[in-house]
């Protein structure tokens, strides 16, 4: 299958792209607002995984092209740009595409990181609201740190909490996640429960910032 990462040139896109390409048989399409930037990022990720190898399983494309090819479209852009990004590609999505939100809205002040809820409740629900009803949205990856994913020597041994209103889509995302070495999954129910998942992330970052022995934390429930 094709895994499209909108804004995949950034931190979490790199981590997710590397792990999927290394551990699964899926192809990865790095999306960007600029195709050349996506192609450069894809070349860099290929080089990280297999220097000098001719591996075409990670390619770069515009966000629109990536969205049009993805069986999964993972929205890897900062929350304030998420809705514009999704709206710009929504007519490009395939009929059976599952859209995945790793997004968390946070603020930062002198005391640390703080969760910012929205009127809708969560970024995952905001994404769902701007997509046609038939496009399933699944929340996942919010509690994984890019630094943990990009450190390919690190044994993750972490859970990913999955939310969504469509069971079949959640099962597809669960299968994708469980293909990544060291990741387990937990089902937190409906997409409306994404706010609780997203709100854990600032806690994980504050713990990392205040404890020298805790870096790039994730969650583990089992």
Positions that interact with ligand NAP (CB under 6 A): 7, 9-13, 32-33, 37, 76-79, 81, 85, 102-104, 142, 144-146
Shortest Å, Cβ 146 to ligand NAP: 3
Choose between 3 and 77: whose C-beta lies nearer to ligand NAP: 77
Shortest Å, Cβ 139 to ligand NAP: 11
Choose between 37 and 114: whose C-beta lies nearer to ligand NAP: 37
Shortest Å, Cβ 208 to ligand NAP: 10
Choose between 136 and 218: whose C-beta lies nearer to ligand NAP: 218
Looking at the chain, the number of H-run helices and the number of E-run strands are: 8, 10
> Which residue has the closest beta carbon to ligand NAP?
10
SS3 163: strand
Shortest Å, Cβ 103 to ligand NAP: 3
Shortest Å, Cβ 52 to ligand NAP: 25
Choose between 66 and 135: whose C-beta lies nearer to ligand NAP: 66
Choose between 26 and 35: whose C-beta lies nearer to ligand NAP: 35
DSSP 69-124: H-SEEEE-S-HHHHHHHHHHHGGG--TT-EEEE----EEEETTEEEE---SSSSHH
- Counting other chains too, the contacts that 150-155 makes at CB distance below 8 Å and 24 or more residues apart are 150/11, 150/14, 150/15, 150/18, 151/216, 152/18, 152/19, 152/22, 152/48, 152/49, 154/216, 155/181, 155/182
CA pair distance 117, 123, nearest whole angstrom: 8
């Amino acid at each position: 299958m094709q895994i499209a990462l909108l804004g995949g040139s950034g931190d979490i896109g790199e981590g997710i792209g590397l792990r999927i390409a290394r551990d699964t048989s899926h192809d990865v399409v790095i999306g960007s607002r600029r195709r050349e930037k996506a192609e450069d990022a894809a070349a860099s990720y290929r080089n990280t995984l297999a220097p000098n190898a001719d591996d075409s399983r990670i390619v770069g494309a515009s966000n629109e092209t990536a969205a049009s090819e993805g069986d999964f479209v993972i929205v890897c852009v900062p929350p304030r740009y998420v809705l514009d990004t999704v709206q710009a590609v929504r007519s490009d999505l395939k009929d059976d595409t599952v859209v995945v939100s790793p997004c968390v809205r946070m603020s930062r002040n002198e005391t640390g990181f703080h969760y910012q809820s929205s009127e809708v409740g969560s970024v995952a629900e905001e994404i769902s609201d701007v997509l046609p009803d038939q496009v399933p949205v699944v929340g996942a990856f919010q509690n994984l740190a890019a630094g943990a994913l990009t450190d390919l020597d690190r044994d993750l041994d972490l859970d990913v909490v999955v939310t969504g209103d469509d069971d079949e889509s959640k099962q597809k995302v669960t299968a994708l996640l469980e293909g990544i070495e060291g990741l387990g999954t937990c089902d937190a129910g409906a997409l409306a429960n994404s706010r609780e998942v997203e709100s854990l992330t600032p806690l994980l970052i504050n713990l990392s910032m205040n404890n020298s022995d805790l870096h790039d934390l994730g969650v583990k429930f089992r």
